[in-house]
Structure 1
């Protein structure tokens, strides 16, 4: 697929293919820590749907909103003209049932610029209030990025002005902000893939995009998107509003699969828990394969395969996994319902390893590695406190604690993750631990930094990432270029694992576009300070 933009700084290809973590405050290439083997435990906490500017735009020392000008923030309409004002926030700023109610009419005629959602002189919406959700899908994200200009977020979103909203936070109001000040905040960290949660969870575990073989002759034949010849933009419907000021865009077919059958927007796992129930009379452990949103079992190599082969212990802890699995086995939806404000809620497409054939129900692999994180993370916290975490642990908070706009708020999830970190700091395993806290994707929120040009799949918009560890550089803002796959790079580097194919192809694409490969997080660490 050809893309039109090149904005990364050229570097020598030979130097660029060094995977030891590239750049820093001075863009120098740091040396690989000589005692990386001191790290015995890696913990990854994966939250939801926030751009860097949305939460950390005012963080001291970071490339934030202080570097935004009218020229690099103003949004263009669909015809390329500068909008006189931002569109209203379609269907209200606040989610149904949330107080205070901020209506669509109250958001009309906002200046064409970023705005603070919590501004006391504006909407004064607290972190504890859920805003409406924003579109965050594969093709729309690319259309919003607009070749690196980031100037069509309002044009191709479905929430109008809300894409430009951020929170004016500090260490007194955002618990993770205080932790970021104590350790390392990465301000040049991008989501691994364009679009939404489903695809970015896959890139977290395998650096790959799922595939649906022979989709055009399957139940999913009516789930294929209609894309323009550039391979990047969706085909508009004939009745799509011409201006973002007058309405949300309409597309001919904005669906889950690409024309060549890659799954880029949400599809359901083939195994329970899945939003798709079992087929009538079929195996209760499976999702009905006859439903067009059920993805066939995937067979690509994932990080768990590499860890197994190297005898490195690992687990994925899914918050509310046990409750969701029980609900599925009992034939009820309950906790596995989708976006809502009930507690807890659980999103099946946030469990990426439940899509892989080698982790199917009944396998020992599944029993050992797909674990219940418990309601409110209780089972994960028990393992932390007992000092029994495996060498590599992924933790996915349940829905109401993951910060996703639409069905939860920032405050609950931020406090929950800060509490989990507090437990980690007191764990018997803490002294040799590296914790990475990041977000799966931007949730549709604007960010002013252009992602580097990579491959067909990403990287997408900039997101926050914290590296928390006794070895983390203290009070450090790391400007090294990272994306979601940098987590896999760190794990494979630390445990001397083979490289996943997607890591190699991503770096080759970055270099071919005149840029540099992704760092592996080692620049955030200093083994001399502990």
Structure 2
């Protein structure tokens, strides 16, 4: 065979015939250094069982038993039925309308939201939102038993809902069949989007200095002596069948000043406007939900020091910046749940002082993904993506319950991947698609016991690449920080402190360190 032909063969084709471009004999494999581009696509708020519970070969709903799925009431007794879905399963204006009364007396078990014989609420319809908060998530997990999701929820029985997709209904499902689906991948931190985005970029939890004497002093959570359980109000309903639980204070901060629930960036675009007469590039620091600038080391710092190019592409970022400058942010931020429904707390690098407005760091690395990902797709098609690229879809395309549906976001991400597969950079690319957190949805697998911050509930993750194992379900233990581990391993970066602390905690609790996603790749190790 002509050696020039071998060297010119795209790696996906070469691999299929047992050859690797300029790689020598048929037994050779590419190494991790062959990966030139890492793309991370970060969707929203779905547990593994919620979307991939019926995936063949995965640890899914076929492994669910009464013992590992039945939900307990707040006093520890077994619930006779699931609580009703408080406020109804679908939102006002959504057809079909599934009212609260229609959800009464559901069996105490997982159920298919899209069952034609049940609610028949497909993946193209928006359900109501669910609790996804730091302490509540731990209370739902209940030491790994996962049996108090309904007890500590504001959405009642909806927590036990899942979908029954297949490759015809869900484009990413088809990609998961073709490439690698990780079925033992957990969200990096307990709770919601804000904290898990921080763990995606720094494996750290933000801190609010002197919060007890700050505008955020009323945001300190009231927590019992175990450090996990929120303190209930004396008037809180005793049973999950009666009403939603009420707490003394489920705040944005821990009692020792760590930010664990949604706080807004100190820089625009932020969910908080600038102070009257203040710098228009800043969020009002006197607003109790404005987080002071953070100084923890993040993955961008390490990539900069190593000379590795990188960028965060925020969907609708450019429009959000413009809206903040023109004081029309209520529109771009989805005050009326309008497209694109940009969420400032999904932009983690906008919290860090070294990426403040006016810095060269910001100009180079916080880039506009464009409406509907248009600017990100332009870079893909032109083959000009940096070595490490993060892409955050805009709000109406991220699959978050409460303000969008599964189908739109799933199709969007599949479309982006289609562009990536045609990109000049594809032959040496690894794409990681995952979700920031479970969105309050139940999953039957116990998270490994780690540190104070996580890991939390299991979520889907798909690795798409010419190097990915084909048709493979990866059972390796991973969490959100595994993405940082992969980037660190590939580019020989120093290890972020949070990664070491997480592994030490896992091992101290009798477990194992987190994987770095290389087991999803067919490479020489």
CA contact (8 A) 2:179 2:470 kept: yes
Which shifted more, 218-227 or 379-388?
Answer: 218-227
* 1:470 equivalent in structure 2: 466
**TM-superposition CA deviations, 1:104-130 (whole Å, max 9, x none):** 000000000000000000000111100
Give the alignment of 1:172-251 within 5 angstroms: 172-251=168-247
Give how far 1:188 is off: 0.0
* 2:33 equivalent in structure 1: 37
Give distance in 2, aligned partners of 1:149 and 1:339: 37
Give distance in 2, aligned partners of 1:241 and 1:402: 34
Give distance in 1, aligned partners of 2:329 and 2:301: 31
Give distance in 1, aligned partners of 2:95 and 2:454: 37
Give the alignment of 1:62-461 within 5 angstroms: 62-338=58-334, 340-461=336-457
CA contact (8 A) 1:270 1:296 kept: yes
CA contact (8 A) 2:140 2:149 kept: yes
Which shifted more, 331-340 or 288-297?
Answer: 331-340
Count of aligned pairs between the two proteins: 497
Tell which has more relative contact order, 1 or 2 (C-alpha 8 A, sep 6+). Answer: 1
Instruction: Return closer, same or farther for 1:290/1:341 CA change in 2, 3 Å cut-off.
Output: closer
CA contact (8 A) 2:430 2:465 kept: yes
Give distance in 2, aligned partners of 1:210 and 1:305: 16
Instruction: Return closer, same or farther for 1:335/1:380 CA change in 2, 3 Å cut-off.
Output: farther
Give how far 1:340 is off: 4.8
Structure 2 alignment gaps of length 5 or more: 1-28
Query: Which one of the candidate residues 46, 69, 87 is aligned to 2:42?
Result: 46
CA contact (8 A) 1:50 1:445 kept: yes
Instruction: Return closer, same or farther for 1:164/1:340 CA change in 2, 3 Å cut-off.
Output: farther
Give how far 1:335 is off: 3.8
Structure 1 stretches of at least 4 aligned residues deviating more than 6 Å after TM superposition: none
What TM-score comes out, normalization by structure 2 length? 0.94
CA contact (8 A) 2:272 2:287 kept: yes
What TM-score comes out, normalization by structure 1 length? 0.93
Give how far 1:527 is off: 2.7
CA contact (8 A) 2:334 2:340 kept: no
CA contact (8 A) 2:215 2:286 kept: yes
Instruction: Return closer, same or farther for 1:408/1:340 CA change in 2, 3 Å cut-off.
Output: farther
Give distance in 2, aligned partners of 1:176 and 1:440: 16
Give how far 1:70 is off: 1.0
Structure 1 alignment gaps of length 5 or more: 1-32
Instruction: Return closer, same or farther for 1:335/1:42 CA change in 2, 3 Å cut-off.
Output: farther
Give distance in 2, aligned partners of 1:179 and 1:432: 18
Cα RMSD of the aligned pairs, angstroms, is 1.1
**TM-superposition CA deviations, 1:11-48 (whole Å, max 9, x none):** xxxxxxxxxxxxxxxxxxxxxx8711000000000000
Give how far 1:332 is off: 1.8
CA contact (8 A) 1:340 1:407 kept: no
Give distance in 1, aligned partners of 2:300 and 2:331: 27
SS in 1 for 2:419: helix
2:479 is the counterpart of 1:480:
no
* 1:3 equivalent in structure 2: none
Instruction: Return closer, same or farther for 1:478/1:339 CA change in 2, 3 Å cut-off.
Output: farther
